[in-house]
Amino acid sequence: MAVPLFLSVLLIAACGLIYELVASALASYLLGDSVTQFSTVIGTYLFAMGVGSWLSRFLSRGLVARFVSIELMVGLVGGFSSTILFLAFAYTGAFRLVLYVLVVILGVFVGLEIPLLMRILKDRYAFKDVVSNVLTFDYLGALAASLAFPILLVPRLGLVRSALLFGLVNAGVALWSVWLFRAHLGARRVLAGASVAVLLLLSAGMAGATKITNLAEDNIYSDEVIFSRTTRYQRIVLTAWKDDLRLWLNAHLQFSSRDEYRYHEALVHPGLSARPSARRVLVLGGGDGLAVRELLKHPGVETITLVDLDPEMTRIFSTHPTLVALNHGSLSSPKVHVVNDDAFVWLDKHPDMFDFVVVDFPDPNNYGVGKLYTTVFYRLLARHLSRDGLVVVQATSPLFARKSFWCIAETMHQAGLTTYPYHLYVPSFGEWGFVLASLDGGYTPPTTLPAQLRYLTVAEVPRMFEFSADMQPVAVEANRLNTQVLVRYYEQEWDRVNR
Amino acid sequence: MSPDENKDSSSSPPSRRTFLLASGAAVVAAGAAIVSRFTNAPALLGLDRKSGPRISGGWVNESAALGHRLRDGASMPTPRRIVRVPAVAVGGGIAGLSAAWQLERHGFRDYVLLEMERDAGGNARGGENAVSRYPWAAHYVPVPGPRATLVRELFRELGVLTDTGWDERTLCFAPQERLFVHGEWQSGLDAELLGSHTGRDELHRFDDLIAEQRRSGEFTIPMALGARAGSALDRMSFAHWLDAAGLRSPAMRWYAEYGTRDDYGASTRDTSAWAGVHYHAAREPTEQGPLTWPEGNTWIARRLAARVGTRLITGTPVHRILSNGRKGWRVRAGDAEYLCDDVIFAAPTFLTPYIVEGMRAPGFVYSPWLVANLTLDRWPEERGVPPAWDNVLRSGVGLGYVVATHQALRAREDGPTVWTYYCALTTRDPATERRVLQTSTWSDWVERIMMELAVAHPNIRRCVTHVDIVRLGHAMVRPTVAFLGADARRDPQWAPRGIHLAHSDLSGLSLFEEAQYRGVVAADAVLASQHRR
């Protein structure tokens, strides 16, 4: 009986360490700042183990049955720990709370295991042998787990399956213990039944693990998450892989630091460089400050009003060092005035006029955002445009979403604007399009551009207005508040691409 | 192992046995309390409180007491002053306001418009709170067809119709309608019909039959232009008509039932086939959707009332209209007696025997309704297509809810909102329903509404903060079988000389267009009468 008993010490020690590692790794993966996450998770876990050890004194009778129950609890909670954490991250704003509550519960149960086991064994073997053997196997198990975790488990199984696998080990130890102590256990049928139930539950979890990770957006962010926050309006996630920084809003890619210069230079300069006299500029959306960075390259611009719905977004892009480095601190420029309001509502209640307007909203993938691409919106926008003013609108991809792109152009046209659609290639997005528009018809590509642009040249600008055969205009309806055809076009087209 | 320790755990004292469980539970509970205070997480974690937070609110706009005093012939104040004015309009709903609008358009200002409530508007009244304006009953006007010339004229005047077309901020935003059926929201009220072969087939046949009726020219808005008292459809119920057409599937019958409940507050059994068909045939199938405002038709009522100016006198119930022989009429309202030649009676016609000397009851039937405005601090959970303007539950006793913030420009859709919940009381006869409505309590109704909506929105109770409810005993006239042939409608001499009936109940259709038409026709009669003098 001795070897199997001490072997189970090794196994439960390994399980205990794995859950700790899973929780720490998941926290650093999802929240970033791995030093903090590992330190706090391990600290909390060890403290909770201490609480568990202390609590063990209150257990005096039916020790084997209790040990089996605790194993089953550890297996269940630990096995599903990464599942719970992923889902908590994806669907709630309380990830940290769930994390530490889980770590405390697990720690308490794991802390109970060894003291109980030692008491169970103390009457069978000499105390010095019990202490020596239990601790030896405990540390051996820890070594095995800490080596297997980075080398085998994470790369081969992933975090969700690894935790489930070790949950199965815990439940296996429980079932095994029922068998080992069968002669002394009263309720062995109940305990064996419970063990089998937990084993089945965890196996079901294993079978559905892929679905769980998909649910939890695990696949979306293939890179390390360095920042994430759920605000009142959206989920902001920043990921990094080597020198590539990516911003995701509600799991939609907003930019990649490797090629965002292409997007933002193309968004701003073809229009603004053609209007050297422009003084007052309005940016709608674009809380990342990257369009503003480009606008500030025009010394003639005196004021920039940036209207972005989400105060958290503009705050992060004004303060986070990596992001401030990316937008050159544009949001802190004295020329920039940040307003956190709904763009439509703000335009409706303010009379201010502008010489150049940048409209950089998320793609029209729901009826709410769809309102910002309607005839009514563009007519309202036109009323804020000075006579010689220009407006530029990000208009999704003319290649992947051809109808959507031309629908936006048609909508602006129906709102009384003269439109000049153009496009460029952004590696992380693919072909991307913008619609430039003026009030009275009058746009010629600029003959000069700000110095030190990385993508645009004077020769390149006119070429952007040429569309190849597969991106030519198609017959579409204008997008109106009472029809919202654009949302339907957009859904159909991107569904086809993403299938 | 000591024998002591080998005993089954069930023999240990409960305090120790439960210690671990209790401490674990304490941690979870404390966590839950913190989580539910600061985040939306409890739903996922299953930590919802069983009962939601307290909902405030109560009955509002109660006016039944005054009506019952009139009915029971209670003593009313004796007049202390006499006012001479050529014309008096009684009732400041859309009919009365439209009559005034017509008089004003013709430069005739020698009249007063008397309204018993604090605000004019009648069924087109509304309210407002920190979240939104909202309607108390009528909340839209369909885009008028070519024959509804008066509606078009009014909307031109109000800037809703311009040379470039209808104001796009007033046309109902997409998506307009959705139906909660088979456990999720689906787009369009015909979602259930379109979901099955039988349903699609019956809907096709129904549409064909309606198209045929439409071509007959009998179904117009205003109805007076096309309706004939001898119509065969006036002599049978809509349910009978559907039976005869072989339209019997539950989905089809629900669809038809929803139409009559929505427009007439009556079941298909209590509605004439003429009216049932009118609902579908009087309007061209159009893509444009209705004209609507967050506050509903109050938007129009306010603007009409502004045109009437000081000639509108609110908070002044008319309690008696007495004949003054050849000299016209004496209208008693509050402490004043108005001596006039002509009276535009734009209050519901069933009031005439209680108010107008020598007049009989018209014999109309009226449907009782209940309207609730629900304030929500966030959008509740749901499954299926995104929120629409009009949201109907297939399983609901009520007619569903209309979202007051739907016409807001803001892009964000999950923020605070106001829903207007409508329920036509059609199960029992109207008198019984009215009695039950008068004795029911506000909290009973809140409970019923929450239960009904929870089918589609499981956490609705935690999102609703305030519920105001109005009960409308005589909300709208019912176009019952043989309504078109009723004396009060057919006989021009039914009302005595100088009394010009103007309420939309004369049309049998409680529609904005009918109220406006009747009001304008009555005003024209007054203008002609005044011209002769």
Which phi and psi (to 5°) does residue B140 adopt?
A: -160, 165
Q: Which of A83-97, A386-400, B157-171, B211-225 has the lowest mean pLDDT?
A: A83-97
Residue B85's φ and ψ, nearest 5 degrees, are -150, 135
Q: If you count residue pairs, one on A and one on B, with CB atoms under 8 Å apart, how many are there?
A: 148
pLDDT given for residue A94 in this prediction: 80
Are B1 and A120 in contact (CB < 8 Å)?
Answer: yes
Q: Is residue B444 one of the residues assigned to a domain?
A: yes
Given a cut of 90, is residue A232 above it in pLDDT? no
Do A411 and A401 form a contact (C-beta atoms < 8 A)? Answer: no
HSE value, Cβ hemisphere, 13 Å, CA-based, for A405: 25
ipTM above 0.90, yes or no: no
| pLDDT tens per residue, range B279-315 | 999 987 765 779 999 999 999 999 999 999 999 999 9
Set of chain B residues whose Cβ sits within 8 Å of the Cβ of A287: none
Chain B residue whose CA is closest to A371: B411
**The 3-state secondary structure of B380-408, one letter per residue:** CCCCECCCCCEEEECCCCCCEEEEHHHHC
Q: Output the pLDDT for position B411.
A: 85
B438 at the A interface (CB within 8 A)? no
- Give A-chain residues touching B19 at CB under 8 angstroms: 55, 58
Which residues numbered 277-316 in B keep a CB inside 8 Å of some CB on A?
287-289
Average the pLDDT over A3-25 and give the result: 88
Chain-chain contact of A93 with B9 (C-beta, under 8 angstroms) = no
Query: Which run of H or of E encompasses B319?
Result: strand B318-323
Compute the Cα dihedral for A355, A356, A361, A367 and give only its sign: positive
For CA atoms A437, A438, A443, A448, the dihedral sign is negative
- Tell me the pairing of strands A252-256 and B336-340: unpaired
Place of tokens 């076009």: A489
Q: How many CA atoms lie within 13 A of A416 on its CB side?
A: 12
Q: Are the C-beta atoms of residues B253 and B245 closer than 8 Å to each other?
A: no
The answer to whether B412 faces chain A, any CB pair under 8 Å, is yes
Domain membership flag for residue B11: no
Give me the pLDDT at residue B69, please: 82
Domain formed by A259-498, architecture: 3-Layer(aba) Sandwich (3.40)
Average pLDDT over residues A301-322: 94
Higher pLDDT among residues A499 and A321, named by residue: A321
Residue carrying the six token digits 């309005």: A282
A371 close to B411: Cβ distance less than 8 angstroms: yes
How close B284 comes to chain A (CA, Å)?
17
Closest CA to A110 of A18, A175, A195: A18
Domain boundaries, chain A: 2-215, 259-498
> What's the one-letter identity of residue A247?
L
What span, in angstroms and rounded, lies between the C-alpha atoms of B62 and B517?
28
B332 close to B320: Cβ distance less than 8 angstroms: yes
Q: Token pair of A130, please?
A: 């019990």
Q: What's the pLDDT at A222? A: 55
Tell me, yes or no, whether B21 lies in a domain: no
Helix, strand, or coil here: B49?
coil
- What CATH number should be reported for the domain holding residue B114? 3.50.50.60
Active-site residue flag, A360: yes
Q: List pLDDT tens digits, range A50-79.
A: 999 999 999 888 888 898 999 999 999 999
Percent over 70 (pLDDT), chain B: 89
Indicate if the pLDDT at residue B227 is higher than 80: yes
The token pair at B98 is 């439209």
Give the residue from B202, B182, B207 showing the smallest Cα distance to B192: B182
User: Total domain count for chain B?
Assistant: 1
Nearest to B409 among A55, A371, A484 (CB): A371
Say yes or no to pLDDT of A218 above 60. no
The pLDDT score that the predictor gives to residue B41 is 40
Beta-carbon separation of A187 and B10 below 8 A: yes
**Which chain A residues touch B44 with a CB distance below 8 Å?**
87-88, 91-92
pLDDT of residue B11: 39
Residue A294's pLDDT is: 97
Region A125-154: what's the mean pLDDT?
88
Q: Which of A260, A287, A282 is nearest to A271 (CA)?
A: A282
In a domain? residue B199:
yes
Give me the pLDDT at residue B10, please. 39
In this prediction, residue B6 carries a pLDDT of 40
Task: Tell me which residue of B526, B524, B519, B528 sits closest to B96, measured CA to CA.
Answer: B519
The mean pLDDT of A220-232, rounded to a whole number, is 68
In this predicted structure, the answer to whether residue A208 has a pLDDT above a threshold of 70 is: yes
CA–CA distance, B328 with B341 (Å, rounded to integer) = 4
Q: Which fold has domain A2-215?
A: Growth Hormone; Chain: A; (1.20.1250)
pLDDT computed for residue B160 by the predictor:
96
CA distance from start to end of chain A: 57
pLDDT at B362 over 80: yes
> What's the rounded Cα separation, in Å, for the pair A118 and B435?
76
Average pLDDT over residues B28-41: 46
Mean pLDDT of B136-146: 92
State whether residue A7 is helix, strand or coil.
helix
Residue B514 half-sphere exposure toward CB, CA atoms < 13 A: 22
Which one of A123, A186, A482 has the shortest CB-CB distance to B1?
A123
Report the length, in residues, of chain B: 533
Domain-located, residue B92: yes
Q: Are B102 and B108 in contact (CB under 8 A)?
A: no
> Does residue B60 register a pLDDT over 60?
yes
Instruction: Provide the terminal-to-terminal Cα distance of chain B, rounded to the nearest Å.
Output: 118
pLDDT value at B374 more than 90: yes
Q: Is B337 helix (H, G, I), strand (E, B) or coil?
A: strand
Instruction: With beta carbons under 8 A apart, name residues in chain B contacting A371.
Output: 173, 409, 411
Mean pLDDT of the B468-493 span? 89
Residues of B (119-158) whose Cβ lies below 8 Å from A = none
**DSSP H helical segments within B41-173, as ranges?**
42-45, 64-71, 94-105, 149-157
Residue B44 lies in a domain: no
Residue B36 binned pLDDT confidence (cut-offs 50, 70, 90): very low
Mean pLDDT of B371-381: 95
A261-292: pLDDT as tens digits: 999 999 999 999 999 999 999 999 999 999 99
**pLDDT score at B187:** 94
Confidence of residue A241 (pLDDT cuts 50, 70, 90): confident
* Domain encompassing residue B266: 59-532
**In degrees rounded to 5, what are phi and psi of residue B480?**
-75, 175
Type of residue numbered A268: V
- Hey, which of A109-118, A470-479, B74-83 has the most confident mean pLDDT? A470-479
pLDDT value at position B49? Answer: 41
Residues B393, B401 contacting (CB under 8 angstroms): no
Reported as a pLDDT band with limits 50, 70 and 90, residue B511 is very high
The per-residue pLDDT for B16 is: 42
Is position B264 within any domain? yes
Which pLDDT score, from 0 to 100, does residue A358 have? Answer: 98
Query: Contacts of residue B38 in chain A, CB cutoff 8 Å?
Result: 93-94
Catalytic residue among A218, A288, A355, A360: A360
Helix (H, G, I), strand (E, B) or coil at A429: coil
- With an 8 Å Cβ cutoff, is B21 touching chain A? no
pLDDT over 90 at B191, yes or no: yes
Provide the pLDDT for residue B94: 98
| Contact check, Cβ <8 Å, B8/A65 | yes
Residue A121 confidence (pLDDT)? 83
